[in-house]
A and B are shown apart, each in its own frame.
Chain A
């Protein structure tokens, strides 16, 4: 994880950044001087993101934190290709997606991103299996293969054989496991979690965070937006936002050894 100065954007990001970075892992997602402004009135423009540059590399585990109103949700929406920057570039897998139309953005979401939500967001009338197949359906890839994959992933996230259950019949933790499996169905470039443990008790929260750690063995890249420091410190790095800008980037592996991490003001 590297925070780059906006002044040094690059076309072949992987190549030019590599010497600066500590390793040569490919860049999966990259913000280049991203702005997101909301025009509220004639003289009232809210700069929710005001020039953010950052990179996510393969295998990264990044937490995004910041005070309420600092721009976390806005950043998540753009990272998730649900929203477009007002200016700047958002690159996913090396491709600028900031100016794509609605259909192409949908494809980016469907192929490259695995969403995990605070309130699980399973579709209530569908079974676990059907929920898992939703992302593949929009790629026209539902069939015997998708079923096998669903079975594998259900097993992988510790759901066991509950494919025919309805979400209502599962506990919160189990539902979030289904959501994680669903996020993995399309082999995304990265998982994008929005306060993924916010609706869970602390035991279950720990289980889910353990699952994230476990998934990293398979080189799964995770970006999690949270305002819970306990959740953030499980990530390798924490990106602090402040007033729509990157405040600082903390390497939690170093910070956790030092007692009482620097925190923020």
Chain B
């Protein structure tokens, strides 16, 4: 059985080699179809992988509340230079959330921009005042030294943990642990730890976690206060908290809790929309849905090229069948049943498209590499997409080979033998 199939494939190849150019061109039709399916899906997958990772990093069991600068009205901007702009989340609100959700982990953060100086090295960066659970809620790891402790917070110690890039910028040669940095003009902080490289954003302004310095929230409030000059607008702004991260026990709780929090927060912020609730899980789901849609569209486009390849196969097989009418007659005279003739031409069509499929997989895997290398566009080749593309190509060969094979099998043997 297997030997017979192998024989059919081998002899099929021989027949295809009768017309090398024609077979090669037909194969190329399938090749480009398969390659484009794989490459397109890899690009689509790569483009969305970045976004999906970003949302996953935000934590799928988290609900994030973030202060947002309210839209300024005419009136408020007229006296903008004198007054202090107050907005955002309050310490008190974080406490209320914790009371409402006793099993949730609630982490408060305060962010501001400052220069950090160590000897000759200087960096202006984001200082994040936060609490102990921040590390686990954001899923970061300590590379060297230690993270902030409850004691640091109680004592309002001047200790700080550096992101990996920041550590390298300030301390290119030595270990920063135990050293001090000057934060702003007068506050010296002792460096107690360095974080692992994270490669992801810390805030919507694009600063990465690796560029941040983390200090106890209590120390932040005590040394720097709640009122800070916003360097971009040159205005004083009073903000208690930039963010409240609420980590829940499971993904199932996320949606309901987000609604409850929204409801709870609304009265205090009724006059101005100065905060927003982000649910990473929702964003993730939306992004995934978008990605599926995108993939589907890509797959349909690419499948059209496979369809074109399939029509090429049908064309060639019809020509082959006509040219080899005599051969069909001979085979029928030598005992071939209709099914044998069908098999023979289906195998030939299948071999043609499978060859195109294999070559297409090769090219389809190479192209994304090139795109990544020369266009710096992330791609991701999924094994199931490769299988899909190859499977479709094999199917195309069989489907488009059926009609020519059927035509061949239904020729009258006497007529076929008489054919010149």
**Contact residues in B for A103 (Cβ distance below 8 Å):** 337-339
Contact with A along B333-345 (1 / 0, CB 8 A): 1111111100000
Report yes or no: B327 in contact with A138, Cβ–Cβ below 8 A.
no
| A83 close to chain B: CB less than 8 A | yes
Report yes or no: B3 in contact with A143, Cβ–Cβ below 8 A.
yes
Report yes or no: B417 in contact with A82, Cβ–Cβ below 8 A.
yes
Interface residue tally of chain A, by bracket?
20 to 34
Contact with A along B1-29 (1 / 0, CB 8 A): 00110010001001101100000000000
| A106 close to chain B: CB less than 8 A | yes
> A212–B120 Cα gap in the complex (Å)?
107
Contact of A82 among B11, B18, B327, B333 (CB under 8 A): B333
> A110–B333 Cα gap in the complex (Å)?
7
Contact of A83 among B337, B340, B414 (CB under 8 A): B414
> A109–B417 Cα gap in the complex (Å)?
14
**Contact residues in B for A77 (Cβ distance below 8 Å):** 414
Contact of B335 among A121, A125, A126, A138 (CB under 8 A): A138
A window 122-141: CB within 8 A of B: 123-126, 130, 134-135, 137-140
B window 356-394: CB within 8 A of A: none
| B326 close to chain A: CB less than 8 A | yes
| A18 close to chain B: CB less than 8 A | no
**Contact residues in B for A142 (Cβ distance below 8 Å):** 3-4, 7
List the B residue with the shortest CB-CB distance to A123. Answer: B327
A138 to chain B, nearest CB (A): 4
| B331 close to chain A: CB less than 8 A | yes
**Contact residues in B for A182 (Cβ distance below 8 Å):** 334
| B86 close to chain A: CB less than 8 A | no
**Contact residues in B for A106 (Cβ distance below 8 Å):** 332, 335-338
Report yes or no: B334 in contact with A138, Cβ–Cβ below 8 A.
yes
Asked whether A110 and B334 contact (CB < 8 A) given A125-B18, A126-B11, the answer is yes
| A111 close to chain B: CB less than 8 A | yes
> A142–B1 Cα gap in the complex (Å)?
10
Report yes or no: B4 in contact with A109, Cβ–Cβ below 8 A.
no
Report yes or no: A139 in contact with B335, Cβ–Cβ below 8 A.
yes
Interface centre among A103, A125, A140, A182 (most CB of B within 10 A): A125
**Contact residues in B for A107 (Cβ distance below 8 Å):** 335, 337
List the A residue with the shortest CB-CB distance to B335. Answer: A110
Contact of B333 among A102, A109, A130, A139 (CB under 8 A): A109
A36 to chain B, nearest CB (A): 11
| B133 close to chain A: CB less than 8 A | no
Asked whether A125 and B14 contact (CB < 8 A) given A82-B413, A102-B338, A140-B4, the answer is yes
Asked whether A130 and B11 contact (CB < 8 A) given A137-B4, A140-B4, the answer is yes
List the A residue with the shortest CB-CB distance to B15. Answer: A125
| A31 close to chain B: CB less than 8 A | no
List the B residue with the shortest CB-CB distance to A76. Answer: B414
| A190 close to chain B: CB less than 8 A | no
Asked whether A121 and B326 contact (CB < 8 A) given A106-B332, A126-B11, the answer is yes
Report yes or no: B335 in contact with A111, Cβ–Cβ below 8 A.
yes
> A110–B18 Cα gap in the complex (Å)?
26
| B330 close to chain A: CB less than 8 A | yes
> A130–B7 Cα gap in the complex (Å)?
10
| A50 close to chain B: CB less than 8 A | no
> A137–B11 Cα gap in the complex (Å)?
12
A115 to chain B, nearest CB (A): 5
**Contact residues in B for A102 (Cβ distance below 8 Å):** 337-338
Interface centre among B4, B11, B334, B339 (most CB of A within 10 A): B334
Interface centre among B7, B15, B335 (most CB of A within 10 A): B335
> A106–B332 Cα gap in the complex (Å)?
7
B window 309-347: CB within 8 A of A: 326-327, 330-340
> A130–B15 Cα gap in the complex (Å)?
13
Report yes or no: B331 in contact with A134, Cβ–Cβ below 8 A.
yes
Contact with A along B72-109 (1 / 0, CB 8 A): 00000000000000000000000000000000000000
List the B residue with the shortest CB-CB distance to A107. Answer: B335
Contact with A along B205-218 (1 / 0, CB 8 A): 00000000000000
Q: A80-B333, A109-B333 given. 14 additional CB < 8 A pairs? A: A82-B414, A82-B417, A103-B337, A103-B338, A106-B332, A107-B337, A115-B333, A121-B330, A121-B333, A125-B15, A126-B11, A134-B334, A140-B4, A143-B3
Pairs of residues from A and B, 3 with the lowest C-beta to C-beta distance, nearest first: A110-B335, A138-B335, A106-B337
